[in-house]
Structure 1
């Protein structure tokens, strides 16, 4: 499917990844622009609809590929997707990279990962740097357990500061431990307070209803694909939650033979700023830079778009040139 809207070329396509059909959107105002692969978070939560609703204009400067990972959205098919693992998704991602390089006749591309996607793309960039011009990590994942410890402390401290005694009592009633990733009570805490307290998707909050609204209003999805996003959010976390909880990105991706740029909101408590900074300080790279977004939580590329584009077009492309 190809459509053009205000000089924007939008392509919806699928490729075979080890016998499974993986889908993606590709957008650009000029197909000769450098290619940027965006690796979404979750796990299992494609962000095309959210980014489109925000009005982010990076497709004016890059040919942007929004790949939907195995097990969600356009890439959900219970009969062919098999076991969903981190290694399988990394392998799929590298197949997508090869597809993009061949399709657009480019020797190297930019790689950008958000949240869970920053773990996937960190591994891709660290293992096979020959494919990439640079790596951009947004809401960079470090150690998920330690990050969630920061989250729990933030929720409790915020409840106390606000004099929210009911919330404080609720938060104290849930004991944080190594099994946090499978605790329904802990998930309820996150759902009830993280966005409310400004440490979630966006500093000013971003409700589940807003997320659903973005998906429903995204005209490029079929109703089946919209339903498969919801299925994928649940099943992907079920499959990947334990490995995510026990993974340290600095161990999985310790060395980058390309420039690295970390973009992080200071109010981010989905992947804590503290853990992102530790990741940045721990890794080796040919060059590296970390940008602190003072008015953002987990989505600085959406929350502070003008500054993000200055970093992306000015600094990232400038360094590569």
Structure 2
């Protein structure tokens, strides 16, 4: 496996690839999944296409059983960890209650494969990607005839997701943060302290030696990738990426069976992580949405109780002082950083009970 370059450990290399000998078996199963997921109701919508955002063709899917349902845009993490190829295990249930928009951000997956590295890297910045999202919001509002959308940001996706929401609050019916990255420096400090505490609790001499060797972490200057890799190694080993597991293979490998992704698209997820993290790290380090004191839209934080990747200790005090029409933490007791995959049933119920009424009320 390649190094864990992605700061949030969601864009590792090699693991999304399929051994050539196994590819025929996966290819046999994908059409079965595609048929099961077809949306055939009279008012359903099922679109997958390249759309132009910020001068670059980018991959977008729009799927829902009834186009009159509230719109939910998923803003994936990483950076570079496209979700549209990995969402099939849980998304079909969402589509009965929302029109779900998945988007491969510039610099990864189908968008990277289609446009090439040079075009994707040319404007690979936080500001440009947040504006891409604003343009995507405008596109789906017009196409679906709806005034507002739900934004759901996962991990890094909360950096550009909240940027877009704050720039166009009148377009947002509710904001949902999942495993949210809101302040990178605070996030890394909290993570490191929790890792040290867990290593001491387990009397894990190997972990303690490796973690103490990277002190001070994250420090005040640049964060060397070598130090990041050590921290992420123990986050994963201690179940802080996927609860009760020492790996997240079930998440990484989901794209192998995606009816929407070819082998080259899966390779481009890996390539996207390698491209996006170095390019966006300076922007990530400057991000601090904990400075936001008020929003004009409801804010819900969907937090995994075991998340060491983006610790809740950064989010809870921020949300406590935030002024918003509605604000709430929804806990996922058996999840870490990947709640939609780890607790798909509870996640769907939470969307339907907590988020959908807010979206309907805002019409």
TM normalised by structure 2 equals: 0.81
Structure 1 residue 35 corresponds to structure 2 residue 35: no
The whole-number CA distance in structure 2 between the counterparts of 1:199 and 1:119 is 21
More strand by share: 1
Q: Report the equivalent of 1:228.
A: 268
Q: Report the equivalent of 1:186.
A: 227
Q: Report the equivalent of 1:64.
A: 100
The whole-number CA distance in structure 2 between the counterparts of 1:282 and 1:51 is 33
The whole-number CA distance in structure 2 between the counterparts of 1:90 and 1:263 is 21
Q: Report the equivalent of 2:31.
A: none
Q: Contact 2:239–2:247 (CA<8 Å) still a contact in 1?
A: no
Query: Offset at 1:154?
Result: 1.7
1:216-255 aligned within 5 A: 216-251=256-291, 253-255=292-294
- Unaligned segments of structure 1, at least 5 residues: none
The whole-number CA distance in structure 2 between the counterparts of 1:83 and 1:34 is 31
Higher relative contact order (CA 8 A, sep 6+): 2
The whole-number CA distance in structure 1 between the counterparts of 2:93 and 2:175 is 19
Corresponding residue pairs, total: 317
Structure 1 residue 317 corresponds to structure 2 residue 317: no
Q: Contact 1:36–1:110 (CA<8 Å) still a contact in 2?
A: yes
Q: Report the equivalent of 1:177.
A: 218
Q: Report the equivalent of 2:86.
A: 50
Q: Report the equivalent of 2:49.
A: 13
- Unaligned segments of structure 2, at least 5 residues: 1-33, 40-44
Structure 1 residue 114 corresponds to structure 2 residue 131: no
Query: Offset at 1:117?
Result: 0.6
TM normalised by structure 1 equals: 0.91
1:272 to 311, 315, 322: 311
Q: How much is the aligned-residue C-alpha RMSD, in angstroms?
A: 2.1
Q: Report the equivalent of 2:58.
A: 22
Q: Report the equivalent of 2:326.
A: 287
Query: Offset at 1:292?
Result: 2.3
The whole-number CA distance in structure 2 between the counterparts of 1:180 and 1:221 is 39
Query: Offset at 1:250?
Result: 2.5
The whole-number CA distance in structure 2 between the counterparts of 1:301 and 1:210 is 12
